[in-house]
Structure 1
Amino acid sequence: MDRYLASELIGPFLFGVGAFSSVGVAIGTLFDLVRRVTEKGLPLDIAIEVFLLKLPDFIVLAFPMSVLLATLMGYSRLSADSEIVALRSCGVSIYRAIVPAVVMSLFVTGLTFAFNELVVPAANYRATITLERAMNREKPPFRDRNIIYTQFDRVRKDNGHKVKVMTRLFYAEEFDGNRMKGLTILDRSEGNLSQVVVSESATWNPAQNTWDFFNGTIYLIGEGGSYRNIVRFEHQQLQLPRTPLDLAARGRDYGEMSIAQAKERLEIISQGGDEDKIIELKVRIQQKYALPFVCVLFGLVGSTLGIRPRRASKATSFGISIVIIFGYYLLAFITNAFGQLGILSPFMAAWLPLGIGLAIAIGLLIRASR
């Protein structure tokens, strides 16, 4: 029975992977590549390479949708031909009948996670680099202008409460991959602005874990904001974090990072104090964890709706799948926005749509079993 039910699901699943990934890659990549080939002279072989490299990203997105389509179409066919009635008359419960769908969903969940971690980030990054080189717009492997690092710390106020305040601001106008140029550092580590460092250039000294500043001026500021001393220097070593150099390194886009790479990036930007970027990256990391489990949700929903006694064509099943997919991802988009606004925690922003969907699916399953 399990082999028979599984065989009913494999065909629609493969059809769904082909259909959904084809539509996604056509809208998301193909049209843009055709425009670049015809209008901007992108070589055809490069366009084909970029197209193939972008395929895994859309295949991963198609996996959950294909599970929904496969279970809905497979069980709808069985229900329409009264095979579900025959199974139930033999003592097979609804819960037992959907076991093959759940097992397939779990398998596709693991496949989705593997693709999303091992294949998609590397393929997307290579596609970006290949396209930039072909268009002669390759970006340097670092951020070359306006490097800003803001250091925060918790200080105790007179009333005894600790608050988070800025203790240091590091700004470099340019970066050539080795040397920062046009630097300004504001030091508030003692509670108030105590010194301002202006320097022509600076390099990181890995041997001593310090910054070497060249041709600059240190303005020492006393109480009330008045200058109490001015020190000019040709070479000065300052004990500052290495974080500005890490922030200058070119960061990959979210789709080009695995979970491990995203967590490493999170550690770096967390030291910079940019709360918006920190929250956004935390939400994206949780979404990477949650995405594969959408396969389980869609497997339960599809099999539960399909197993109910009714007659539905393949076109009807496809239409129902589109409505469910649109509704789920609309909810996911809304919770994601709430997460980035701080209304929801990153965990809740990523997992709340899945929790709501599972609650609805379990309710439908209990109702179908009665």
Structure 2
Amino acid sequence: MKKINIVTQLSLLERYLISEILPILLFNIVIVTVVTESIGISFEQFNLLLNKHISFENLIYLHILKLPDFIVIAVPISMLMTTILVYNKLSNTSEIIALQSCGVSLYKLLSPVINLSIIIGLILFIGNDFIVPATNYKAAITLESLMNINRESLKNDDIIYQELATINEPKISNKNNYLKYLFYAEKFSNGKMSNVTLLIRDIQGLKVIINSKFAALYDHNKYFYFYDGVKSIINRDGAYGEAIKFEQLIIELPNISQQFQLDREKLDDREMNIFQIYQRLLIGEKLGDMTKIIQLNVNLFKRFNLPISCIVFTLLGSSIGINLQPRIKYSSFSFTLLIIGTIKIFEAVINALILSEHISSFAIFIPNIFATGVSFYLLLKKIS
């Protein structure tokens, strides 16, 4: 079989542009990664070094574990910086004008770097889903171990879950859902929940109240085991009916049990891959936890938004860097900082509005849509 050499399949122009871009891109990724990591964790870790007596070797190990996370942040920004610098340089040396006079269109000038950004975006997407969550989790566990913190013992008080059910007969109510289960445990410790209350309802109202001294969930089961309690039947008029004492009562609560088990993993947004986020999102929708649904949706959309940002920032940087009037000078570095700052502020405002439930989670894509619009506007102006 004849071997295919990818490099020889590229045109002379494509090889030239890629050779100009790659060294600067790698340099920018290193610089931006170092800066973002220094701002992100270095000051905090040096405080740990001084006050918590964590060794310097352990801090270096933590930095290495956090590197993938910061590289992922650095790549889109580096693509923006690189394309502005490279195309601005080509403009200042009149190479773009010379190429256009030879019949090379702006599309041909942009296609190599756009194709490169698509490849880098795909690599970024895969790395952000398979590598970053694992290294973030390892870093968090390592730091917690060094500081004698057990995450399993955190936030185990006042455990509350609700589950909604769909109304199958629309004539009964204007609402689509009703509260079916309300679960409360005062504390979770040593695999058991203490002072547990479960309310069971149907469309007409409250039907059963279960109070038990403790409850447990065994081996990823969907059944809750309630021990040493009372099951109170509620009559149609709302009055207490029969009260049945029990030593053990088993109730099937598949959605609540699955959410409880997922919560025991205590993974934050940066420690979950897409499958884990989606798994929690499905359960959150069944339980009707809107705050959690919004947070998970934002996290999920950000995973897809990242490779898109890589492509959009490349297009934006190229459209800004191409200057068909070389006599007009501007500082590429200052312009890059201004753009990055504006985009990050825009993203922060969008995130705040989403989390406050003022706009849809899909608004997370607005900054990229806006940047794409600006890019095409600038390119159309330079073509005309």
TM-score bin (small chain): over 0.9
Query: 1:238 aligns to what SS in structure 2?
Result: strand
Matched, 1:37 2:49: yes
Q: Using the alignment, how far apart are the partners of 1:145 and 1:318 within structure 2?
A: 50
Match of residue 3 from structure 2: none
Q: Is the 8 A contact 2:229 2:246 kept in 1?
A: yes
Q: Is the 8 A contact 1:266 1:282 kept in 2?
A: yes
Residues 78-97 of structure 1 deviation map (CA, whole Å, 9 limit, x = unaligned): 11111111111111112211
Q: Using the alignment, how far apart are the partners of 1:247 and 1:339 within structure 2?
A: 24
Q: Is the 8 A contact 1:167 1:191 kept in 2?
A: no
Q: Using the alignment, how far apart are the partners of 1:55 and 1:209 within structure 2?
A: 39
Q: What amino acid is aligned across from residue 17 of structure 1 in structure 2?
A: I
Match of residue 81 from structure 1: 93
Segments of structure 2 that go 5 or more residues without pairing to the other structure are: 1-12
Alignment match of 1:326 (pick from 325, 341, 344) = 341
Q: What amino acid is aligned across from residue 35 of structure 1 in structure 2?
A: N
Q: What amino acid is aligned across from residue 228 of structure 1 in structure 2?
A: G
Q: What amino acid is aligned across from residue 237 of structure 1 in structure 2?
A: I
Match of residue 6 from structure 1: 18
Segments of structure 1 that go 5 or more residues without pairing to the other structure are: none
TM-score (norm 2): 0.89
Query: 2:205 aligns to what SS in structure 1?
Result: coil
* Shift, 1:239, TM fit: 3.2
Match of residue 67 from structure 1: 79
Q: What amino acid is aligned across from residue 383 of structure 2 in structure 1?
A: S
Query: 2:214 aligns to what SS in structure 1?
Result: strand
Match of residue 266 from structure 2: 251
Q: Using the alignment, how far apart are the partners of 1:323 and 1:150 within structure 2?
A: 46
* Shift, 1:334, TM fit: 2.2
Q: Is the 8 A contact 2:255 2:286 kept in 1?
A: no
Match of residue 6 from structure 2: none
Alignment match of 1:185 (pick from 181, 198, 201) = 198
Instruction: Kindly tell me the number of residue pairs found equivalent between the two proteins.
Output: 368
Q: Is the 8 A contact 1:142 1:248 kept in 2?
A: no
* Shift, 1:272, TM fit: 2.7
- Specify whether residues 295 and 321 from structure 1 end up closer, same or farther in structure 2 by C-alpha distance, changes over 3 A only: same
**Aligned residue runs from structure 1 range 277-356, under 5 A:** 277-308=292-323, 309-310=325-326, 316-347=331-362, 349-356=363-370
Q: Using the alignment, how far apart are the partners of 1:249 and 1:362 within structure 2?
A: 47
- Specify whether residues 109 and 89 from structure 1 end up closer, same or farther in structure 2 by C-alpha distance, changes over 3 A only: same
Q: Using the alignment, how far apart are the partners of 2:255 and 2:368 within structure 1?
A: 40
Q: Using the alignment, how far apart are the partners of 1:226 and 1:141 within structure 2?
A: 39
Q: What amino acid is aligned across from residue 77 of structure 2 in structure 1?
A: M
Residues 293-328 of structure 1 deviation map (CA, whole Å, 9 limit, x = unaligned): 111111111111111133688x92121111111222
Q: Using the alignment, how far apart are the partners of 2:143 and 2:301 within structure 1?
A: 29
Q: Is the 8 A contact 1:117 1:258 kept in 2?
A: yes
Q: Is the 8 A contact 1:174 1:181 kept in 2?
A: yes
* Shift, 1:25, TM fit: 0.4
